[in-house]
Amino acid sequence: MKTSIQIEVRPTEIDVMGHVNNAKYLEYMEWSREDWYNKAELPFDVFTEMGIGTVTVNININYRKEAKLGQKLTISTEPVRKGRSSFILRHEIVNEDGDLVADAEVVSVTIDLKERKSVPIPNELAKQFPG
């Protein structure tokens, strides 16, 4: 399942170069991931009830084009692949002209909340991935 959210770039997200600060793109992607989890019926409290958390362990991001104040951006999230305890979600940020602004692959791991060690991906999450 691919999901997307839309945002408008705010003044507090602009850096001294007059465009969106690089760290803000990670926030945009986090907001989109949260939306993806919710639409997959896997909000934070569902994982907590299972005694499981998800931890981001790697982000590979490509900055493709500037985003500026007032622009409307669409941030999409889709599952790419899964391993035993890790999984990858892909993000794309597109501006209102359809230009790719940034894209990234985010690797997360499922952990036992008490032991703080990796555990196999629960079936509820695994079924969201292709193959």
By annotation, the residues acting in catalysis are 15
**CA-based nearest residue to 37, from 103, 122, 131:** 122
- List the chain domain ranges: 3-126
Instruction: Tell whether the torsion through CA atoms of 28, 33, 35 and 36 is positive or negative.
Output: positive
User: What are the Cα distances from residue 68, in Å, to 1, 11, 106?
Assistant: 29, 9, 24
1-54 pLDDT, tens digit per residue, is 999 999 999 999 999 999 999 999 999 999 999 999 999 999 999 999 999 999
User: What's the whole-model pTM score?
Assistant: 0.94
Architecture of domain 3-126: Roll (3.10)
The answer, yes or no, to whether residue 124 has pLDDT greater than 80, is yes
> Three-class SS of residue 21?
coil
